[in-house]
């Protein structure tokens, strides 16, 4: 039987649950966060775990608007006043960073906060102690990297070897896999502008990738992150492209991963209708497309595998265009990088189906203007490509034949009429001379 106090407690709890149900995910986050400093350590940890669940529900816009400088300043103050333990702060911040990095969201909020300065100082201090508390050292580095992809150059020689040591673990239990995933994701956050000495990472990252290719020991996100880290180094001027193309087989692996990941997604669902696992898969696919685009931007060696890779990107484009326009646009942008790289044979776009996909999209009855603009720009780049010298080592007669094939596809699909109609509503790239491929 309930006594009066039990009845009041139950009524109060129901009211709280009802209120939480009607609040937005960001409002619920802010309310739970504002209560943190009033709880003891164990209760605080429980509330942080509730906050983590909310963060995993947020989309890019919600994460961007929630993770503000004010929020990081508040966390720093709570640590300073001992209202938030360092263990709980790391638990919260690591998951904030995980969500940011997974969705590739970067702003200056953490970078300009006092909390960043605190973490820089703590990393340096722990390094001087030579690993007295190795777990804390790793946690600090991961939080730091996951929240700021442009951190102090002085810390690279500390952070990179430390995280590679974690990432080299071979055990396949769930806890170790998660540790490795976080370490590689944090490494993948190091921006391409950062010039890291090859001796700090090359042998280790090669071993991680090659071991996974034999034993499949990494999670999907961990494997993508390992490649993302390596491709970013290549974009910076890493000279041994043969390592990526011939030893690590980037095109083959990227194509296979895109194919397998795509099969586990119900593309008919919108992102908000998907469960946690499917949303994470979508984010990993997006990261692969981004890495492929980065690679095509800088590569110097041609591989026949590029045509197969482009074909797989076309499959993702067609699957994503109705409910996941951001990924669709990323696919088109990866084609843009191919047109601008003279080392990549332009014929790969034709054989891989990229041009067919572009023409299909422009003629669909329901148009996404943002995607249409991307495709029109794609044709603009194609035209500029043909006006230039084309790819390296392509004979003039081959270039003319390729140009004729593209022209005939456009003519068959009535592309010239479509361009004319779009000129009336958007003058950005739409002129016959630079968009329509003319003989």
> In three state form, how does the secondary structure of 280-319 look?
HHHHHHHHHHHHHHHHHHHCCCCCCHHHHHHHHHHHHHHH
Matching residue, tokens 């009607």: 22
**For the chain, what percent of residues have pLDDT higher than 70?**
79
Q: Is the pLDDT of residue 187 over 70?
A: yes
CA 51 to CA 429: how far, in whole Å? Answer: 45
CA 144 to CA 140: how far, in whole Å? Answer: 6
- Give the pLDDT band (50/70/90) at residue 304: confident
pLDDT (average), residues 369-385: 80
Structure confidence at residue 186 (pLDDT): 97
Q: Residue 355: exposed, middle, or buried by beta-carbon count in 10 A (0-12, 13-18, 19+)? A: buried
Residue pLDDT, tens place only, 191-237: 877 788 888 998 999 999 999 999 999 999 999 999 999 988 876 65
Is 141:100 a contact under the CB 8 Å cutoff?
Answer: no
All residues at 6 or more sequence positions from 126 whose CB lies less than 8 Å from its CB, including other chains: 132, 133, 136, 137, 140
Window from 130-139, 262-271, 374-383, 394-403 with minimum mean pLDDT: 394-403
Q: Positive or negative CA dihedral for 316, 318, 321, 326?
A: positive
The pair of structure tokens assigned to 136 is 């804390």
Is 224:183 a contact under the CB 8 Å cutoff?
Answer: no
Q: Of the segments 85-99, 335-349, 425-439, which one has the largest average pLDDT value?
A: 85-99
- Give the pLDDT band (50/70/90) at residue 383: confident
Of residues 265, 272, 365, 367, the one with CA closest to residue 316: 265
* Cα angle 281-290-159, degrees, rounded to a multiple of 5: 90
The DSSP secondary-structure symbol of 145 reads H
Structure confidence at residue 396 (pLDDT): 58
């Amino acid at each position: 039987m309930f006594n009066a106090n039990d009845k009041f407690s139950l009524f109060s709890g129901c009211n709280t649950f009802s209120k939480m149900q009607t609040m937005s995910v960001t409002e619920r986050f802010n309310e739970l966060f504002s209560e943190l400093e009033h709880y003891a350590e164990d209760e605080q940890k429980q509330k942080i775990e509730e906050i983590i669940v909310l963060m995993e529900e947020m989309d890019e816009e919600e994460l961007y608007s929630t993770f503000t400088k004010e929020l990081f300043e508040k966390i720093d103050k709570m640590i300073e006043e001992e209202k938030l333990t360092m263990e709980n702060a790391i638990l919260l911040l690591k998951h904030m960073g995980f969500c940011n990095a997974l969705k590739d969201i970067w702003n200056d909020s953490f970078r300009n906060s006092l909390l960043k300065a605190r973490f820089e100082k703590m990393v340096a201090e722990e390094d001087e102690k030579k690993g007295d508390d190795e777990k804390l050292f790793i946690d600090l580095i991961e939080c730091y990297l996951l929240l700021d992809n442009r951190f102090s150059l002085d810390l690279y020689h500390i952070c990179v070897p430390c995280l590679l040591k974690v990432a080299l673990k071979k055990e396949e239990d769930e806890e170790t896999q998660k540790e490795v995933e976080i370490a590689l994701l944090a490494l993948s956050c190091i921006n391409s502008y950062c010039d890291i000495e090859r001796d700090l990472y090359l042998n280790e990252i090669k071993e991680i990738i090659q071991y996974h290719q034999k034993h499949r020991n990494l999670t999907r996100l961990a494997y993508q992150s390992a490649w993302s880290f390596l491709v970013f180094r290549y974009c910076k001027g890493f000279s041994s492209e043969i390592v990526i193309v011939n030893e690590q087989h980037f095109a083959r692996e990227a194509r296979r991963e895109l194919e397998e990941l795509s099969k586990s997604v119900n593309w008919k669902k919108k992102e908000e209708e998907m469960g946690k696992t499917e949303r994470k898969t979508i984010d990993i696919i997006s990261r692969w497309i981004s890495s492929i685009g980065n690679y095509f931007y800088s590569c110097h060696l041609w591989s026949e595998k590029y045509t197969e890779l482009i074909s797989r990107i076309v499959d993702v484009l067609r699957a994503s265009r109705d409910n996941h326009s951001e990924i669709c646009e990323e696919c088109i942008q990866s084609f843009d990088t191919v047109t601008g790289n003279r080392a990549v044979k332009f014929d790969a776009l034709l054989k891989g189906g990229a041009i067919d996909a572009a023409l299909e999209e422009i003629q669909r009855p329901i148009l996404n203007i943002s995607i249409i603009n991307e495709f029109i720009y794609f044709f603009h780049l194609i035209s500029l490509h043909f006006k230039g010298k084309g790819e390296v080592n392509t004979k003039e007669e081959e270039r003319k034949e390729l140009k004729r094939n593209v022209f005939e596809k456009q003519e068959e699909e009535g592309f010239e009429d479509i361009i004319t109609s779009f000129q009336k509503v958007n003058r950005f790239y739409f002129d016959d001379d630079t968009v329509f491929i003319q003989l």
